[in-house]
Structure formats: C-alpha cells, structure tokens
Amino acid sequence: MSKGLKIILFWSLVIPAIITILRIITDSFLGRGIELFSYSAVFLGIAAAGLIFAGPLNYFISKSQQE
C-alpha cells in the first residue's frame, strides 16, 4: 500500500473512530444517553473531513518535507 493511501485511510477511518469512541466514553461518564444514530453522524462527518481535507493536506505536507 502506498504511503499516500495509508495517510488518507488513517485520517478518514482511524481518527474518526478514536474521536467517536472518546465521545461515547465521555457521554457514558457524564450519564447522558448513548444514541448510536448521533454518533454515526459524528463519525461520518469527521470521516468526510478527513477524506477531503486532512488526509490530502497531510500527504502533501509529508511529501514536501521529503523533498
């Protein structure tokens, strides 16, 4: 797998999963109700941002640092 694909997958799958899990843990500690529909919207929104903005941006940054 190429380095660019790894970076984009990291920012579009791993980071949204970590943020969503942290939100679920925070809400469970605060005693709020856990609604999976709400968390799926958060996950998909962060994944889209990672796929469109953060992944390519970090790829170009790492590529420019190599040169």
| Separation of alpha carbons 51 and 8, rounded Å | 6
Tokens (6 digits) for 43? 């996950």
Can you give the pTM of this predicted structure? Answer: 0.82
CB within 8 A of 51, min separation 6: which ones?
8, 11, 12
CA gap 36, 24 in Å, rounded: 9
What per-residue confidence (pLDDT) applies to 25?
Answer: 94
What are the domain boundaries of the chain?
3-65
**8 A C-beta contact, residue 19 and residue 58:** no
- Split at pLDDT 50, 70, 90, the class of 20 is very high
Contact (CB, 8 A) for 43 and 18: no
